[in-house]
Amino acid sequence: MNRETRFGRRQMSKMISEVIGNGNIKSKVKARIVYSELENAPLYVIMARPLNDREFGRKELHLHCLVARSMFKDRTKIIGIGSEHYEKGKGYSLDLIYMDMPDLTENQIKEAEDIKNELMIFKSPSTTSLKPNGETL
């Protein structure tokens, strides 16, 4: 994230808050792919998960990152951020995943496609583009 501009980091913070929530309103978006238009920038996957099963949430975040990598062929680095929807007084945990996958094998591409179709992960993804000037698309 240090490659992002000041505006890009501000927009990233907003995207995380929109997915995870701020304690007042729960987001309707379970996961979002955020990509920067900066050269060699990573792909970000932000995901909200249930509070009651953290291990399942970590595995699900990993699957989201794998599917996102297969969808964006030009991005080799993926940063996954997962947490529960924030609820005041309940606390929350944060999971981070870093993947560096310069090449995808045919088996990984097929696995990602199967995950996408069977588990409906990023079947109709919510994506956001971060522009260097802070605008989002």
53-63 pLDDT per residue, tens? 778 888 999 99
| Global pTM value | 0.84
DSSP string, 22-78: -SSS--S-SEEEEEESSTTPPEEEEEEE-SS-HHHHHHHHHHHHHHHHHH-TT--EE
Kindly tell me if the per-residue pLDDT of 69 is higher than 70. yes
Kindly tell me if the per-residue pLDDT of 32 is higher than 80. yes
Higher pLDDT, 78 or 29: 78
Angle at 49 between CA 121 and CA 132, to 5 degrees: 70
Higher pLDDT, 106 or 129: 106
Mean pLDDT of 1-26: 72
